[in-house]
Chain A
Amino acid sequence: MSTIAIISSFADETQCAQAIEELRAAQVGDFNTFSPIPSHKIEHAIGRSKSPVRWLVLAGGISGVLTGLAITIGTTYEWRLNAGGRPLLSWPPFIIICFELMVLLGGIFGFFGVLMLSGVPTTAMAPGYNGRFGEDRFGIVVRCEEAEAARVESMLKESGAEEVVREDGAQPR
């Protein structure tokens, strides 16, 4: 039995989310979606956990603070300057450097984390991708066994899909 891809497009975000919920309840094949906007409804319907990019931002932030401490404390000990017997380490200015580096590395980790986790840059387009999905249509691409195709198609149509087409021989993601 071969796997096929069924590509459907929706004009309405709510209908698309509803179709996703039905697909999940029916447990037929696996699917991915395309949307022109980041949709909370779709994200909620898919029901995945929160993105791990937040841990990368946290790791970046912590490494920024540690880098800040290392360069400020390290260079102070490298060149000990006795300023009227005051303590060697000047914490208030060091906090500024640590804060700036926390933001800098947190942001850099976040940005490159998104690229890495989202699989960009890439030259390969996901099966079923269509330019209109960036413009004004919400798309669901379902990969399922050929025997289940008719059932999936009718589910998608009943949920309000404008268009449902088959793309035979598509590779699973």
Chain B
Amino acid sequence: MAAAPKIPVEPSYRDIDRSVLRVMEPAGLAYWAWIGLCFTLVAIAAGFWVRQIYSGLGVTGLRQPVMWAIYITNFVFWVGIAHSGTLISAILFLFRTKWRTAVYRAAETMTIFAVATAALYPLIHLGRVWFFYWLLPYPNQRYLQPDFRSPLVWDAFAVSTYLTISALFWTMGLIPDVANAREAASGWRKKFYTLLAMGWQGTDRQWRHYSMAYLLMAGLATPLVLSVHSVVSWDFAMAINPGWHSTIFAPYFVAGAIFSGVAMVITLLIPMRRLLGIEDLLTEWHFDNLAKVVLLTSLVVSYAYLTEAFMVWYAGDPIEQMTFHMRYFGPWGWMYWVMVSCNCVIPLLLFSPRIRVNMRALWVITIFVNIGMWFERFVIIAGSLTANFEPSQWAGYRPSITEIMITVGSFAWFLGLFSLFSRFLPIISMTELKEGIVWLRKALKMDRVKAA
């Protein structure tokens, strides 16, 4: 794609529309090669999954007592990634945060595809995937209902509600923007956008109901986002397993989710703004603020690690203490220290205002955060299972090629879907950017002054 023309330092509504709609013009060969690569990896992963369904879970590395490992780690990782999208789109909307308008659509899109990726894992993890509906409130042939005391049932409700509500909230925000795209497009694209816009015209009657519903949906999504990761954490905390059975889990997981999610937003946005030529719409000011959220949540997560250790020491339960000793200094101790370095130490660099606006440095730091947060989940989930109450049951775990390829495939699935969206639908909300145009102008002025 050719370098994008700079938008004026005092952009008009029209300049915003042009910059965003320009991204949706037909893409080049490199783009389709990338999409092809992503979906080839997805197809390979699907092949491994089919093999696993045919042969059974024996093709994975899952053995007693480590029956939850990479699949569940990936599930928690992707649900966590999803959280920042709702944080930015709903919670920061209620707080009227100025910088969210340019980043929220990309973050929300990431949420949808991250939950769609996460939702695959409980299915992939099932030996008999065709019985997945047993988690839904649907009696089986012996008229047995699911047990509503089980955290796994809460999880089925929480994750499916989250996926539905985020998808509706995202669609609602898209409607006025797609109507804009409809006016600018031609050919099959015009038909496509006309269908998606559903006849939206921006009349006073439409905006009146839209604004009220958007506010209420944000109000509903806010407690939902906090509840979903709390429920995910209770999948572990409700079990008596040492390393899992802790009251700190819900806030600890929510903070971690927002931390990893905002880091992933930055990881995606930095190359995206360059490749799509929207550097003028996603300015240093936006990244500076996103980096501050990463820094804050990193400190919260570090505090949670310390509190967890303190509670184990203070409670004096020898089995819990042994589990944590193994976590810090056992055979997988290196993973714990990778996690601490990536999540607690490296993000401290973001205290420097210069690093917060240095795109390369910021990108590398957020990749470290993503790695660190993946390891955090792995250490908690699989690590805690290796050493249980009974030393005779202690065992290790080694992932098989099936698990590795399905993990690679899920990253490709997420990136492929996100890349497809970014060229066919507005990746930046034109409506909200226009509403907050004063702030975009200020950000552009700051950028241009700096560049001069």
- Which residues of B158-205 are within 8 A (CB) of A? 158, 160-161, 164-165, 168-169, 171-172, 175-176, 179-180, 183-184, 198-205
Q: Is B17 an interface residue (CB 8 A)?
A: yes
Evaluate contact between B204 and A75: CB separation under 8 angstroms.
Answer: no
Evaluate contact between A53 and B149: CB separation under 8 angstroms.
Answer: no
As a 0/1 sequence over residues 34 to 46 of chain A, the CB contacts with chain B under 8 angstroms (1 = contact) are 1111110011001
Q: Is A134 an interface residue (CB 8 A)?
A: yes
Q: Is B220 an interface residue (CB 8 A)?
A: yes
Evaluate contact between B207 and A39: CB separation under 8 angstroms.
Answer: yes
Q: Which of B17, B200, B206, B227 has the most CB of A within 10 A?
A: B206
Q: Is B131 an interface residue (CB 8 A)?
A: no
Given the complex, which residues of B lie within 8 Å of A129, measured CB to CB? 201
As a 0/1 sequence over residues 105 to 117 of chain A, the CB contacts with chain B under 8 angstroms (1 = contact) are 0111011011101
> B145 is contacted by which of A46, A53, A78, A99 (Cβ under 8 Å)?
A78
Q: Is A97 an interface residue (CB 8 A)?
A: yes
Given the complex, which residues of A lie within 8 Å of B157, measured CB to CB? 96-97, 100-101
Evaluate contact between A38 and B199: CB separation under 8 angstroms.
Answer: no
> B154 is contacted by which of A61, A96, A135 (Cβ under 8 Å)?
A96
Q: Which stretch, B68-76, B209-217, B259-267, touches the partner chain A?
A: B209-217
Given the complex, which residues of B lie within 8 Å of A46, measured CB to CB? 204
Given the complex, which residues of B lie within 8 Å of A114, measured CB to CB? 172, 209-210, 213
Q: In the assembled complex, how far is the CB of residue A36 from the closest CB belonging to chain B, in whole angstroms?
A: 6
> A103 is contacted by which of B144, B183, B209, B220 (Cβ under 8 Å)?
B220
Q: In the assembled complex, how far is the CB of residue B165 from the closest CB belonging to chain A, in whole angstroms?
A: 4
> A57 is contacted by which of B13, B199, B216 (Cβ under 8 Å)?
B216
Evaluate contact between A35 and B207: CB separation under 8 angstroms.
Answer: yes
Cα of A32 to Cα of B434 in the assembled complex, Å: 21
The answer to whether residues A78 and B143 also contact, given A33-B204, A97-B157 and a CB cut-off of 8 A, is yes
Number of interface residues of B (CB under 8 A): 57
Given the complex, which residues of B lie within 8 Å of A131, measured CB to CB? 183-184
Q: Across the two chains, which residue of chain B brings its CB closest to A118?
A: B206
Cα of A154 to Cα of B389 in the assembled complex, Å: 86
Q: In the assembled complex, how far is the CB of residue B376 from the closest CB belonging to chain A, in whole angstroms?
A: 24
The answer to whether residues A36 and B431 also contact, given A71-B137, A126-B201 and a CB cut-off of 8 A, is yes
As a 0/1 sequence over residues 57 to 100 of chain A, the CB contacts with chain B under 8 angstroms (1 = contact) are 10001000000000110011011000000000010011011011
Evaluate contact between B199 and A121: CB separation under 8 angstroms.
Answer: yes
> B198 is contacted by which of A37, A39, A79, A115 (Cβ under 8 Å)?
A115
As a 0/1 sequence over residues 204 to 234 of chain B, the CB contacts with chain A under 8 angstroms (1 = contact) are 1111111111001100110110010001000
Q: Across the two chains, which residue of chain A brings its CB closest to B183?
A: A131
Evaluate contact between B168 and A79: CB separation under 8 angstroms.
Answer: no
Cα of A49 to Cα of B311 in the assembled complex, Å: 54
Q: Is B341 an interface residue (CB 8 A)?
A: no
The answer to whether residues A38 and B435 also contact, given A33-B204, A103-B161, A111-B172 and a CB cut-off of 8 A, is yes
15 CB contacts below 8 A, A to B, read A36-B180, A57-B220, A75-B148, A79-B144, A94-B148, A96-B231, A97-B157, A103-B223, A103-B224, A108-B168, A114-B209, A115-B198, A117-B205, A119-B206, A133-B202
Q: Which residues of A contact B (CB under 8 A)?
A: 32-39, 42-43, 46, 48, 50-51, 53-54, 57, 61, 71-72, 75-76, 78-79, 90, 93-94, 96-97, 99-101, 103-104, 106-108, 110-111, 113-115, 117-126, 129, 131, 133-136
A sample of 18 more A-B contacts (CB under 8 A), given A43-B207, A53-B212, is: A32-B204, A32-B205, A38-B211, A42-B204, A51-B213, A53-B209, A75-B139, A90-B149, A100-B154, A103-B223, A107-B165, A111-B171, A114-B210, A118-B206, A120-B198, A125-B201, A134-B183, A136-B17
The 10 closest A-B pairs by CB, nearest first: A131-B183, A136-B13, A122-B199, A75-B145, A121-B198, A51-B212, A118-B206, A38-B207, A114-B213, A100-B157
Q: Which residues of B contact A (CB under 8 A)?
A: 12-14, 17, 137, 139, 143-146, 148-149, 153-154, 157-158, 160-161, 164-165, 168-169, 171-172, 175-176, 179-180, 183-184, 198-213, 216-217, 220-221, 223-224, 227, 231, 431, 434-435
